[in-house]
Amino acid sequence: MDDRRSNAFAENPLVGRAVHKMNGAGNAILVLDLRGAGFLPRPEDARALARAPGLGYDQMMVLGDAADAGEAAFMTIFNQDGSLSAACGNGTRCVAHYLAEQTGATELRLATSAGKLFVRREGPLAYMVDMGAPRLDWRDIPLAREADTACVDLAAFGLPPASCVSMGNPHAIFFVERIEDFDLAAIGPRLEHDPMFPQRANISLAQSLAPDHIRLQVWERGTGLTLACGTAACATGVAAARAGRAGRRVKISLPGGDLLIHWREADDHVEMTGPVQVEFSQTLDAAIFSGRDD
Ligand SMILES: N[C@H](CCC[C@H](N)C(=O)O)C(=O)O
């Protein structure tokens, strides 16, 4: 066959693969198991999957082969816009559930480009993830210039200074009196792209309800408004404890559900506990990848 023709009609290697739609506290997660496959989706494939009718996702968790024998999988995490994130708390619980159902394991280790994660099953549909230690140095967030990360003045939209935390991905949290006083869909994209954030940032509005309870709404880097964001909940728990607004154990209520955060004193690690839901599985067809990539 003519080479150019065969290339033009060559099928995307994702066609025929199964994806598993799940959610973690409402955060829409697609799990794509490519262990043993030896390839990753391209950014344009990730975008095509994000806009596929009835499929869609906030994050796609792609499983690849782990480097260490004790690890179940390496996770490559895509946002809707095809960009990568080194961490995703809700997606990690979903991946843990997918693997736990296959193997019966109640404890497992997973890896991302940001490090290693330990997960424990807490119930039929509940998992605790050790998300590791937060990073609070301005260079690690990263910020564009030296600043006190507990108090970053972005001087915008009538918001107070932000608290910035990295959980492997960058977060800016604004503690406000009432979340409803701000239009996060309007200000989120502008703050995400603020020059202070050379790698952009996830933007959260947090409202203290009690010393152990915080409401949270998140504009996610590369995705937009979501019903929940696990790493944002972790970062908010850290920021609240750091500022004396909360203790080290706090419930974070997001539009899609609640997450329990415990910033351990002993080793500085953040534990996140929360639910997963399985929605459906589907085999990918060629039509998903045939549209324009704008
Ligand atoms: N929803 C995810 C976080 C996605 C973060 C991503 N938007 C980025 O940092 O680029 C979570 O549950 O932690």
Note whether 177 and 221 are same-domain residues.
yes
143 inside domain: no
Q: What's the pTM?
A: 0.96
Note whether 175 and 75 are same-domain residues.
no
Amino acid in the structure at residue 22: M
Note whether 59 and 91 are same-domain residues.
yes
pLDDT of residue 11: 87
Judge whether 251 and 214 are in contact, CB under 8 Å.
yes
> Of 94, 151, 164, 229, which residue is the catalytic one?
229
Q: Is 164 a catalytic residue?
A: no
CATH number for position 117: 3.10.310.10
Q: CA quadruple 229, 234, 237, 238: dihedral positive or negative? A: negative
Q: What is d(CA 107, CA 166) in angstroms, rounded to the nearest whole number?
A: 25
Note whether 127 and 38 are same-domain residues.
yes
Note whether 7 and 122 are same-domain residues.
yes
Best residue among 129, 223, 259 to mutate for probing ligand 1, ranked by most atoms within 8 Å of CB? 223
Please report which confidence band the pLDDT of residue 9 belongs to, taking 50, 70 and 90 as the band edges.
Answer: low
For residue 179, what are the domain limits?
Answer: 163-268
69 inside domain: yes
Nearest to residue 22, comparing CAs of 32, 13, 36?
Answer: 32
Ligand 1: residue whose CA is nearest its atom 2: 88
CA-CA-CA-CA torsion for 88, 239, 273, 192, nearest 10 degrees? -30
27 inside domain: yes
Q: Is 180 annotated as a binding residue?
A: no
208 inside domain: yes
Judge whether 244 and 211 are in contact, CB under 8 Å.
no
Note whether 282 and 245 are same-domain residues.
no
Convert the pLDDT of each residue in 136-173 to its tens digit.
999 999 999 999 999 999 977 899 999 999 999 999 99
Q: What is d(CA 232, CA 250) in angstroms, rounded to the nearest whole number?
A: 13
Distance, CA 28 to ligand 1 centroid (Å)? Answer: 11
Q: In angstroms, what CA-CA distances link 8 with 1, 2, 36, 52?
A: 12, 10, 26, 21
Question: Residue 252's Cα: distance from chain center in Å?
Answer: 15
> Of 88, 94, 164, 234, which residue is the catalytic one?
88
Note whether 193 and 225 are same-domain residues.
yes
Distance, CA 63 to ligand 1 centroid (Å)? Answer: 16
Convert the pLDDT of each residue in 53-83 to its tens digit.
999 999 999 999 999 999 999 999 999 999 9
Distance, CA 85 to ligand 1 centroid (Å)? Answer: 7
Note whether 206 and 127 are same-domain residues.
no
Convert the pLDDT of each residue in 218-239 to its tens digit.
999 999 999 999 999 999 999 9
